[in-house]
Amino acid sequence: MAADPIIQLRGVTKTYGAGATAFQALKGIDLHVEAGDFVAVMGPSGSGKSTAMNILGCLDVPTGGSFRFKGVSVERLDRDQRALLRRRYLGFVFQGFNLLARTSALENVELPLLYRGEDKAKRRELAMAALDKVGLTQWWDHTPAELSGGQQQRVAIARAIVTSPDVLLADEPTGNLDTRTSVEIMELLTGLNRDAGITVLMVTHEPEMAEYARTIVHFRDGLVEKVEQVGAGVPA
């Protein structure tokens, strides 16, 4: 029997405000993501894709409907349980890198392990291994100001994968990068998806970046407009 999807949204709605000023950002989303998939999420501003990603990242909760992660009903979890789910199973990559300015690459990557309570030796071992996966071992002692934009995003990806997450949520990961560096970052994400089996969900406005995905989900007006299966995940 086939395994259940790692992520299932059924009839998910999200409403902000109440009464005459209420705004329905999501109007009944149905979506499932198989473990190991690489999904690009696209849509115009205001389409609901960012709201959906916040729910998938356990940063927000649905107003209605069901969100199951690895078979667990996330909407029934309390704030602490959702935080634990984030720390144990999810990694996050942002357009703006979100690195601590005065700390080294190694210390930035160690941060999620610090929240987990890992000891110093274990933190260093795992952080160096993550930096090695993104090709930055020799830059471990450099601060963000001493790194290029592409290197900073690699540090951010290392920080996201240092806890061995099941799912990597990437919000416009190439939005601040030039074309050549964007391709390098997408090849890195594709490799992590292929070789480490990490499920990737990536918000992007760039069709050429979405071509790296195997599934493209199009949002419009608070709904999933269509889902495309686009093949191997490597653009021609």
pTM (whole model) above 0.85: yes
Rounded CA-CA distance 82/76 in Å is 9
- Report which residue type is found at 163: T
Question: Which backbone phi and psi does 152 adopt, to 5 degrees?
Answer: -60, -40
Tell me the average pLDDT across 103-116.
92
- The residue to which tokens 């191997």 are assigned: 232
Rounded CA-CA distance 41/53 in Å is 9
For 126-168, write each residue's pLDDT tens digit. 999 999 999 999 999 999 999 999 999 999 999 999 999 999 9
Give the domains, in start order, of the chain with CATH numbers.
Answer: 36-58+89-229 (3.40.50.300)
| Structural contact between residues 125 and 132, judged by C-beta atoms closer than 8 angstroms | no
Residue 236 reports pLDDT greater than 60? no
Rounded CA-CA distance 151/41 in Å is 24
